[in-house]
Chain A
C-alpha cells in the first residue's frame, strides 16, 4: 500500500511533469472552428502534445471571444474563450479568399488532422473540404463536427446549438422533476460531450492510419453523441413502450441514492450495492431505506458530517460542489485538475487541467489562449517558409492578419508585442 502510494506520488508528480514526454508529440492538428464544439476537440488533443494550429478570420476571429460572462473581460480576453483554446498556435487567415484557401491547404498538407465545425458542406463548397484535401494529403484524418451530421434529413442547412442537441436527443426530457418542465443542463454539455467523442474518434483513426497509411473522414453530430449517452433510456422505451420519467435528484436504479439538502448545502448520498444499502438502512435505523428516511437524516447535518458517517458505516457520500469549491480544493490542485499556469502573456492563469492522468506521457497546459493571429510569423514564416515580403504582401491583401483593436481579440492593454523571443513588431492589424 505505502509502496504504491510512493509510486503514485512519483509517477504523477506535477513537479517532474514538464520534463516528461508527450503522448501525441509530432501530431499536427489544423482547426477551423468556432465556439466550443471544434475548439474543445483540438484542445483535448493539444493537452497531450499535439501541435494545434487554430485558424481564425483576421480581426474578429472566433466569435467565442465575445461570449463574455456578464460582459466581463480580463486583460482584454474573455474567461469563456480561454478553457478550450490552450496550447494552440493562433493564425489569422481569410479562408474565403482564393489565396487564403491556398494557405489553408498548404498547412493541411503538412498536418495529420483537420477539425472543423462549420455547417455541413460549407468546407466542401469552399474547396477546402475533405474531398479536396485528401487529394493533397491521403493520410489526413478529417473530423467534421456538427449539430445534425454531414448527411441525412436534418443535415441540410439546419443550424444547431448545444441546447438543440440536449432537446432533440431526449436528454432534457429525462432531466428535471416529475410534474415540472424538462430541464436544460446548465452547461454546454452537448458541445463538450461531442468534442470528447470527436477527439476519441480522431485517436482511433490515427491508430488505424499507422497500419494503413490512410486517413479518413469522421462525421460526428452532437445530438447523436448525447443519444449514445442516455444509458437504458432506449431499451426501456422499446420494451415498455413508455417514456422514462423525470425523477428529479433520485437515481431510480439505486433508490434512495440521490442529492439531498443538508445543513450547509447539498450532499449526494449513494448506495450502489447491497452492502451499501444495508449500511445506509442500518444508519437510519430502518430495514429498507427510502428517500423519506434519508431527507430528515441529511437535513440537520453538515455535508462533512454525512461524508464521515458514510465512511464509518459503509455507504458513500460527497458534497455537491460548485466552481468556487473546486477552485479552492487542494485535492484538485494536487492532481492538476485545477491547473496553475504561468502564461508568458497573461501571467498566472488557473485553468481546467487534463482529465486522464498518464504516468509516462502526462498531459499539460503550456500556454493559454492568445489574440487573433498571434503566431502568424511562427506558422507562415516557420512552417510554410514564407519570407517577410511574402507575408507583408498577403497582409496587404487582407489574406492574413491579426487582431482587431477590441476586447476579446487583442492582447492585454499595453502589451502589443509578440511572444517572448518572437519576432513580432507590429500592433493591431490595419
Chain B
C-alpha cells in the first residue's frame, strides 16, 4: 500500500484539479458589490467551486477598481480588486436607470443566487429588494452583506460598510495589540486592527457559508430565502469565548500583547533574522524547551514550575527575556532545527514544543512548501498581464476548487451574457450603450 501522504498528494494536488469536475456547476450567481471587498470574497468562494458568477458594475466600472494602495494600478484597476476578481463574467448596467433596474430583475430571475452589499433600503428603492426579486423567482437565494445587518435596532444606521467598521465592532482590535501599562501610553499601546481586511474577508466567508446552507434547504424544499450577514457579527464569532466568559464570570477578553493569560510560553520572540513563534506551555514541553535552550535547571525554578507559576505576569516577562537571550543569537530556521532535533526523540506532551518563523510576505513566498502545495497561482490575462494570486485554500479529491481567470475589464462579457441569458441582439446592446445604461 502506498503511504498515506503519497496517496493524499495524488488525490488532492491542485495541479490535477483542472481535469476533475466542479462542486457547483450550473449555479448562477449575480454579484452586485460596488466598492465592497466582502461581497467579492463571497462571490469568489462560490466561483472557485465552479459557480458561474456575473459581476454587475456601473458603466464607469466598480468603485473598488480604483482602490490602489500606494497608487499601484494596472490598466486602471488597483491590486485589491485584481486579487479578488477571479473566475467571473463582467457586465455593466446602470441601476439608476429604470430600464437598467428592469434588466437586473431579468438577470435575477435567471439566477440562483444574488449577492448584494448595498443594503435593503437602497435595494428596495431600486425595486430590487428580496421581496420583489423573490416574487419573480421564489427559488432565489438572496445574500445581503451590511455592517449591522438587515434587522435589529441598529439596522437603519447610515454607514457604508467597510473592513474597518466590521473590525471595530467585532471586538478583534479590542483584544489585539499591546496593553497600556499606566494610563494612556505609547501610540502603539492601543486596540489594533489586523493588517489585512480580515473583517471583510470573514463577512464574505460567512456569506458564502450561508448561501451554501440555503442551497441545501432549496434542494430539499425548492424554496429560496434571504441570507442576512452583518459584517460586525462575522469576525465577532472568532473572538474565542468572549460571550460565555462575560456570561459566566462577567469578564471579557482584553489585550495582552505578547503575554497570555492562560498559557505561557505561547509568544513571539526576537531572533537573529526577525521574530519567531514559540510555544511550550505544558509542564513536559516546558522542560523540553529548557533543555533545548541549555537551561534545564529553570524547569525547577519556583517561578516557572507549573502552568499557573509561568502565567504570572512578572514571570512571563522574566521568561520572555530568558528566551530572547537564547533566540537572539539564532535564526528562526536554526531554532526550528534545534527544536525538531530534540522533539523528534520525544513523544506525547514533551514533544509539544512548537515554533514557526514570523514570515514577512516575501519570506512566505520564498518557501517552496506553499508552492508545492499550490497555495499560489500565476494567472495571465491579455489586459492585466501575469499576476500572482492566492489560490483557493481547499485541497479536495473529488471536486476541487480552481482559478480559471484573474480579472477582465468592466463589461467584457456584456455581449455573451445579455445575448445568452436575455436574448438581446447587437442592436439592443448598442441602444442601451448609447443611452448610458450599459
Partner of A21, one of B70, B217, B237, B392: B217
Q: Are A358 and B266 in contact (CB under 8 A)?
A: no
Interface string of A62-83 (1 = CB under 8 A from B): 0000011111101100011011
Option from A11, A187, A201, A351 in Cβ contact (under 8 Å) with B253: A187
User: In the complex, what distance in Å separates the CA atom of A74 from the CA atom of B243?
Assistant: 13
A222 to B123: give the CA distance in the assembly, Å.
36
- Min Cβ gap B337→A in Å is 12
Listed A/B pairs (26) with beta-carbon separation below 8 Å? A79-B244, A150-B12, A169-B364, A173-B363, A176-B177, A187-B175, A187-B240, A189-B194, A199-B209, A201-B396, A204-B24, A219-B12, A227-B393, A228-B391, A229-B196, A238-B388, A239-B388, A240-B72, A266-B190, A269-B164, A321-B174, A323-B253, A349-B248, A355-B209, A355-B229, A360-B223
Q: CB distance B236 to A175 under 8 Å? A: no
Contacts of A326 in B (CB 8 A): 171, 236, 242-243, 246
A161 to B267, CA, bound (A): 11
Is B238 within 8 A of A231, CB to CB?
A: no
B148 at interface, CB cutoff 8 A = yes
B188, A248: Cβ atoms under 8 Å?
A: yes
Bound-state CA distance A124–B71 (Å) is 50
A318 to B172, CA, bound (A): 14
Complex partner residue of A207 from B24, B159, B248, CB under 8 angstroms? B24
* Contact residue among B11, B155, B364 (Cβ-Cβ distance under 8 Å from A217): B11
Interface assignment of A288: CB less than 8 Å from any CB of chain B:
no
* A357 & B227 in contact (Cβ 8 Å cutoff): yes
Q: Which listed residue (B147, B157, B187) contacts A311, Cβ 8 A?
A: B157
Q: Does A349 contact B219, Cβ atoms closer than 8 Å? A: no
Across the interface, do A230 and B169 meet the contact criterion of CB distance under 8 Å?
no
Give Cα distance in the complex from A205 to B355, angstroms: 33
B103 at the interface (CB under 8 A from A): no
Most chain A CB inside 10 Å of its own CB: which residue of B148, B167, B358? B358
B177 interface neighbour in A183, A257, A261, Cβ under 8 Å: A183
In the assembled complex, which residues on chain A have CB atoms less than 8 Å from the CB atom of B359? 167-170, 173
Contact of B191 with A270 in the complex, beta carbons under 8 Å: no
Question: Which of A103-111, A151-159, A387-395, A403-411 makes up part of the contact surface?
Answer: A151-159
Residues of A contacting B12 in the complex (Cβ-Cβ under 8 angstroms)? 150-151, 217, 219
Q: Which of A285-341 contact B (CB under 8 A)?
A: 310-311, 316-327, 330-332, 334-335, 337-338
**Min distance, Cβ B316 to any Cβ of chain A, angstroms:** 13
* Complex contacts, B361 vs chain A, CB 8 Å: 170, 173-174, 230, 233-234, 236-237, 243-244
A residues near B258, Cβ cutoff 8 Å: 181, 184
Report the Cα distance A268→B69, complex, angstroms.
19
Report yes or no: A189 in contact with B198, Cβ–Cβ below 8 A.
yes
Give 7 A-B pairs besides A24-B213, A152-B369, A234-B361 with Cβ atoms closer than 8 angstroms: A174-B361, A187-B176, A197-B205, A236-B79, A349-B248, A355-B230, A360-B225
The digit string for A252-277, where 1 denotes a CB below 8 A from any CB of B, is: 11100111010000111110110010
Task: Let me know if B37 and A159 touch, CB within 8 A.
Answer: no
Cβ of B310 within 8 Å of any chain A Cβ, yes or no, is: no
Q: Is B236 a contact partner of A207 (Cβ separation < 8 A)? A: no
Q: Verify B364–A322 contact, CB threshold 8 A.
A: no
Contacts of A233 in B (CB 8 A): 196, 361
A392 to B65, CA, bound (A): 66
Q: Which of A182, A349, A351 has the most CB of B within 10 A?
A: A182
Q: With A and B bound together, what is the CA distance between A160 and B369 in angstroms?
A: 15
Pick out which of these stretches binds chain B: A1-9, A93-101, A416-424.
A1-9
| Residue pair A170, B360 in contact (C-beta under 8 Å) | yes
A270 x B246 contact (CB < 8 A): no
Answer yes or no: A23 CB below 8 A from chain B CBs: yes
With A79-B247, A268-B167, A351-B243 given, is the CB distance from A4 to B120 under 8 Å? Answer: yes
The answer to whether B241 and A322 have CB atoms under 8 Å apart is: no
Flag if B275 contacts A182 (CB, 8 Å): yes
Separation of A272 and B276 alpha carbons in the complex (Å):
35
- Taking the complex as formed, is B414 at the interface, i.e. its CB lies under 8 A from any CB of chain A? no
The docked-state distance in angstroms from the alpha carbon of A369 to that of B82 is 43
Identify the closest chain A residue to B394 (Cβ): A201
A225 touches B393 (CB 8 A): yes
Give the interface segment out of B87-95, B287-295, B372-380, B421-429: B372-380
The answer to whether B154 touches A192 (Cβ under 8 A) is: no
Q: Which of B1-9, B52-60, B297-305, B430-438 contacts A (4 or more CB under 8 A)?
A: B1-9
* Alpha-carbon separation in the docked complex, A48 to B227 (Å): 13
> For the complex, is B261 an interface residue (Cβ under 8 Å from A)?
yes
B205 close to A196 (CB less than 8 A)? yes
B394 contacts which of A148, A218, A351 (Cβ < 8 Å)? A218
Taking the closest CB of chain B, its distance from the CB of A64, in whole angstroms, is: 10
Cross-chain contact B256 with A350 (CB below 8 angstroms)? no
Question: A332 to B240, alpha carbons, bound, how many Å?
Answer: 17
Which residues of chain B have C-beta atoms less than 8 A from A69's C-beta?
Answer: 241, 245, 249, 251, 261-262
CA gap between A148 and B395 in the complex, in Å? 12
A235 touches B388 (CB 8 A): yes
A224 at the interface (CB under 8 A from B): yes
A357/B217 in contact, CB under 8 A: no
B249 to chain A, nearest CB (A): 5
Is A352 an interface residue when CB atoms closer than 8 A count as contact? yes
Within 8 A of A (CB), among B358-416: 358-365, 367-370, 372-373, 375-376, 387-399, 401
Check A131 for interface membership: any CB of B closer than 8 A.
Answer: yes
| A318 x B213 contact (CB < 8 A) | no
Does B121 sit within 8 A of A, measured CB to CB?
yes
Task: Report which residue of B191, B244, B359, B364 has the largest number of chain A beta carbons within 10 angstroms of its beta carbon.
Answer: B244
Say whether B262 contacts A70, CB under 8 Å: yes
Assess the A175–B215 pair: CB atoms within 8 A: no
Assuming the contacts A83-B243, A235-B79, asked whether A319 and B168 have C-beta atoms less than 8 A apart, the reply is yes
Does A125 reach chain B (CB closer than 8 Å)?
yes
- B195 to chain A minimum Cβ distance, whole angstroms, is 3
Whole-angstrom distance from the CB of A51 to the nearest CB of chain B? Answer: 14
Q: Is B184's CB within 8 Å of the partner chain A?
A: yes
Confirm or deny: A372 has a beta carbon within 8 angstroms of a beta carbon on chain B.
no
A383 within 8 A of B: no
Cα separation A365 to B21 with both chains bound (whole Å): 35
User: Taking the complex as formed, is A185 at the interface, i.e. its CB lies under 8 A from any CB of chain B?
Assistant: yes
**Is B105 part of the binding interface, using a Cβ–Cβ cutoff of 8 Å?**
no
The CA-CA distance from A234 to B86 in the complex, in Å, is: 15
A293 → B minimal CB distance (Å): 17
Can you list the 9 inter-chain pairs with the closest CB atoms, starting with the nearest? Answer: A356-B210, A216-B398, A323-B252, A174-B195, A268-B168, A323-B242, A74-B248, A203-B212, A360-B225
Chain B residues near A244: list those with CB within 8 A. 195, 361
Q: Which residues of B contact A120 (CB under 8 A)?
A: 4-5, 8
Quick one: closest A residue to B215, CB to CB?
Answer: A207
A190 to B77, CA, bound (A): 30
Residue pair B244, A83 in contact (C-beta under 8 Å): yes
Report whether B173 and A320 are in contact in the complex, using a CB–CB cutoff of 8 Å.
yes
Complex CA–CA separation, A49 to B388 (angstroms): 39
B168 CB contacts on chain A under 8 angstroms: 259, 266-268, 318-321
Whether A367 sits at the interface, judged by CB under 8 Å, is no
Instruction: Mark contacts of A130-168 with chain B using CB atoms, 8 A cut-off: 1 yes-contact digit, 0 otherwise.
Output: 010000000000000000111111111111110110111
The answer to whether residues A167 and B277 also contact, given A238-B365, A321-B171, A327-B252 and a CB cut-off of 8 A, is: yes
Q: Does B49 contact A (CB under 8 A)?
A: yes
- Nearest residue in A to B148 (C-beta to C-beta)? A331
A356 lies within 8 A of B206 (CB)? yes
At the interface, yes or no: B28 with Cβ under 8 Å from chain A?
no
- Taking A79-B248, A174-B361 as contacts, is the C-beta distance between A200 and B45 under 8 angstroms? yes
